[in-house]
């Protein structure tokens, strides 16, 4: 009997070692992930290992959720549940699941039951999170202890990611605000900045750049005209055609923007510096400020050039009327290989419905 009990305990220890090994192997990747949703998904995967359910994970349903001011948001889900990040939790989970999650938030404590558990944890900044897990057998004291220890430590990582995302979102707001300030001096609204940014991301993705780099271009392109803050108002907003001398002054905004941004080591600002400097270069080498041609022009500059011209032509300015879509398309086909990278023109034309959807979405309201 003693030997059988020892064998039983050895099996329990061995199973927990297997789960712990999986956690350790996954931790390096898990804690490098910045996205809250990806991180939460990793947490659910690790809890599956802790409970030794990795061999039968399809029959386990779990949620990681967080609470905002009033709403409860789903961060990740596993098993039978699929959701979109914009879905409301009450439209996704079954009533008994929602009730358990709401109870955990209300009581501010974890609960362990016969076939499910809720693990509540709160960060030092006050962010509340709950992990709901069903499909497991009733947990023994050791597994409860492991889960509570794990969740208390994970709460620190959750808090760090929240703070990181808050810093990143603040940086993005500042970047777009700088771009809007530059555009407002030439009587443009922030919609121009937003449209160009979205066009750039779409073109970058269709060109084959990875999602992360496409998002970088989206953000950086908002500062393409930041150098205009150094151009006198009487030239920037002059109705009618500029003189040769005035046009030479306007052209300097590319060098001004580059000079403002070139000293940073941040990826977004470095990309913005390239874009500010090169978005008026032309594929045939007849652009400014340096007369670069073809692939001498950085792909960021080539993408932004096309996006900026499309939006500028279709928008009324103090010195011109807005072009019709037909006129713009004729111009783009004519300038394929001239003003614009021919591959990007083809991508633009092939994705015209998506381009026009963005134009409509960020039109003046």
Contact 212, 238 (CB under 8 A): no
Tell me whether residue 246 is exposed, middle or buried, using C-beta atoms within 10 angstroms of its C-beta: 0 to 12, 13 to 18, 19 or more: middle
- H/E element, 55: none
Q: Which of 99, 172, 194, 228 is catalytic?
A: 228
Residue with tokens 């996704």: 92
Count CA atoms within 13 Å of residue 281 on its CB side.
Answer: 25
In 3D space, the residue among 70, 78, 163 whose CA is nearest the CA of residue 125 turns out to be 163
Alpha-carbon distance of 247 to 154, in angstroms, equals 58
Alpha-carbon distance of 288 to 119, in angstroms, equals 60
Write the CA distances from 175 to 33, 133, 172, 231, 289, integer angstroms: 24, 40, 5, 20, 24
CA dihedral 23, 29, 31, 35 (to 10 degrees): -120
Verify whether residue 320 is a known catalytic residue: no
Tell me if residue 270 falls in helix, strand or coil.
Answer: helix
Q: Which residues are catalytic?
A: 228
């Amino acid at each position: 009997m003693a030997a059988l009990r020892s064998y039983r305990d050895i099996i329990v220890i061995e199973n927990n070692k297997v789960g712990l090994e999986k956690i350790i192997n996954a931790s390096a990747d898990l804690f490098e992930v910045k996205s809250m949703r990806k991180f939460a998904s990793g947490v659910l995967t690790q809890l599956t290992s802790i409970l030794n359910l990795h061999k039968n994970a399809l029959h386990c349903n779990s949620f990681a959720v967080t609470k905002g001011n009033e709403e409860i948001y789903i961060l990740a889900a596993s098993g039978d549940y699929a959701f979109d990040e914009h879905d409301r939790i009450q439209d996704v989970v079954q009533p008994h699941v929602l009730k358990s999650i709401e109870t955990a938030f209300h009581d501010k404590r974890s609960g362990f039951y016969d076939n499910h558990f809720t693990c509540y944890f709160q960060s030092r900044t006050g962010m509340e999170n709950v992990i709901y897990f069903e499909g497991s057998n009733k947990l023994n004291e050791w597994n409860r202890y492991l889960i509570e220890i794990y969740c208390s430590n994970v709460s620190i990582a959750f808090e760090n990611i929240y703070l990181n995302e808050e810093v990143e979102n603040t940086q993005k707001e500042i970047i777009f605000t700088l771009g809007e300030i530059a555009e407002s001096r030439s009587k443009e609204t922030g919609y121009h900045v937003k449209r160009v940014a979205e066009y750039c991301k779409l073109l970058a993705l269709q060109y084959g750049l990875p999602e992360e780099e496409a998002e970088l271009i989206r953000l950086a392109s908002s500062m393409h005209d930041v150098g205009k803050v150094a151009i006198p108002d009487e030239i920037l907003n002059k109705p009618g055609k500029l003189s040769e001398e005035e046009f030479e002054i306007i052209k300097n905004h590319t060098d001004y923007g580059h000079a403002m941004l070139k000293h940073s080591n941040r990826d977004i600002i470095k990309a913005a510096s390239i874009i500010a400097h090169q978005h008026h270069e032309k594929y045939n080498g007849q652009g400014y400020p340096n007369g670069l041609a073809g692939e001498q022009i950085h792909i960021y500059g080539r993408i932004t050039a096309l996006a900026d011209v499309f939006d500028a032509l279709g928008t009324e300015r103090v010195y011109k009327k807005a072009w019709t879509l037909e006129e713009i398309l004729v111009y783009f086909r004519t300038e394929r290989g001239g003003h614009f990278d021919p591959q990007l023109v083809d991508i633009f034309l092939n994705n015209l419905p998506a381009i026009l959807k963005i134009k409509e979405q960020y039109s003046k309201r």
